């Protein structure tokens, strides 16, 4: 192999309903990292594993595998509220050929032990904070793969993949040291945050959140605030304002924007918007169409 030339491309793929059908029909898989963002079932030979978020599943090349989505999701029909068909994202799959992994292990300092993580399947569970760090690396890789392919792009991709594999090896080699043990309170705080981020555009209240987690409203704020330095009310308000402003910038009407962001009435939205951004909604600058897009 010529120095500085990747052995072949890696592949990062989104897992949604359409992709799963193709994935399960395939008889060939490379070494893969499966990074879930929603729960589903993974079948390896005659064994089924319930996969959840904050895990990374290591799948060696020769192992057969199939993905099964929750029945309620595969039966779910699009109601047209999103303007067309909308697939849920369940995971990302990072496929790596053996030559690519060997290149990583011989780059700069010989580290052949990194290849051992692909000796057999593994499911590594992470704390929310550690998993977020790994997931951000994956998103960075996703953006880098969109760039035009040149020497610098290839090097950046190679470096990100190398860092991910090194972190996984550390987790695999010293799980008790690196997998942070979260308290129940911390786990609950991050679960509340995730729930809010998924539902803030609906007319959710503090009581709705409390009911969802079967706790009191005072407990919701008491658990949430120390980790995110915000009350539930302010956190939801900030999410809605940011979303409404993005819609306005992209050409949506002000009325459509505040309604779609989850506000109940215009006056509350108007006052909150001025207080947050120090400008009125109609003063927001619209983004210009990208001339190169066509």
CATH of the domain at 269: 1.10.10.60
What is the share, in percent, of the chain residues with pLDDT greater than 70? 85
What range defines the domain where residue 31 resides? 11-178
- Band of pLDDT at residue 52, cut at 50, 70 and 90: confident
Least confident interval from 77-86, 89-98, 152-161: 77-86
Q: What integer is the mean pLDDT of 90-103?
A: 91
CA distance 189 to 225: 8
Q: Are residues 208 and 152 in the same domain?
A: no
Q: pLDDT: is 5 or 238 the higher one? A: 238
User: What is the count of structural domains for the chain?
Assistant: 2
Determine the pLDDT at residue 245. Answer: 94
Q: Are residues 275 and 253 in the same domain?
A: yes
Task: Please state the pTM of the whole predicted model.
Answer: 0.59
Give the residue from 178, 198, 219 where a domain finishes: 178
Over residues 109-162, the pLDDT tens digits come to 888 888 888 988 888 877 767 777 888 899 999 999 999 988 899 999 999 999
Q: Are residues 195 and 124 in the same domain?
A: no
* Residues whose CB is less than 8 angstroms from the CB of residue 48 and which lie 6 or more positions away in sequence, other chains included: 41, 42, 68
Q: Are residues 109 and 220 in the same domain?
A: no
Give, in degrees to the nearest 5, the angle at Cα 126 between 155 and 132.
Answer: 55
* Residues whose CB is less than 8 angstroms from the CB of residue 31 and which lie 6 or more positions away in sequence, other chains included: 59, 60, 61, 95, 96, 97, 98, 101, 118
Q: What integer is the mean pLDDT of 9-29?
A: 89
Q: Are residues 45 and 89 in the same domain?
A: yes
Determine the pLDDT at residue 287. Answer: 74
Beta bridge partners of 44: 47
Give the residue from 163, 178, 193 where a domain finishes: 178
Buried b / exposed e over 109-121, threshold 16 CB at 10 Å, is eeeeebbebbeeb
């Amino acid at each position: 192999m010529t120095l500085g030339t990747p052995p072949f491309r890696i592949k990062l793929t989104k897992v949604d309903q359409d992709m799963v059908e193709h994935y399960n029909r395939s008889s060939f898989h490379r070494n893969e990292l499966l990074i879930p963002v929603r729960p589903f079932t993974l079948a390896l030979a005659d064994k089924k594993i319930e996969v959840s978020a904050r895990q990374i599943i290591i799948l060696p090349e020769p192992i057969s595998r199939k993905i099964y989505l929750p029945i309620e999701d595969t039966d779910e029909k699009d109601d047209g509220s999103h303007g067309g068909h909308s697939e849920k994202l369940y995971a990302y799959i990072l496929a790596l050929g053996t030559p690519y992994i060997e290149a990583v292990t011989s780059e700069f300092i010989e580290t052949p032990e990194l290849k051992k993580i692909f000796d057999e399947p593994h499911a590594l569970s992470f704390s929310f904070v550690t998993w977020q760090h790994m997931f951000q690396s994956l998103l960075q890789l996703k953006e880098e793969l969109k760039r035009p392919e040149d020497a610098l792009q290839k090097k950046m991709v190679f470096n990100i993949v190398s860092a991910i594999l090194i972190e996984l090896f550390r987790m695999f080699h010293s799980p008790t040291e690196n997998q942070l043990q979260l308290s129940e309170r911390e786990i609950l705080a991050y679960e509340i945050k995730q729930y809010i981020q998924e539902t803030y555009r609906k007319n959710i209240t503090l009581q709705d959140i409390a009911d969802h987690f079967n706790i009191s409203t005072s407990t919701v704020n008491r658990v949430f605030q120390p980790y995110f330095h915000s009350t539930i009310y302010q956190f939801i308000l900030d999410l809605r304002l940011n979303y409404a402003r993005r819609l306005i910038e992209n050409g949506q009407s002000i009325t459509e924007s505040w309604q779609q962001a989850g506000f109940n009435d215009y006056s509350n939205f108007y006052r909150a918007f001025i207080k947050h951004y120090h400008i009125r909604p109609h003063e927001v600058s619209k983004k210009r169409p990208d001339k190169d897009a066509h």
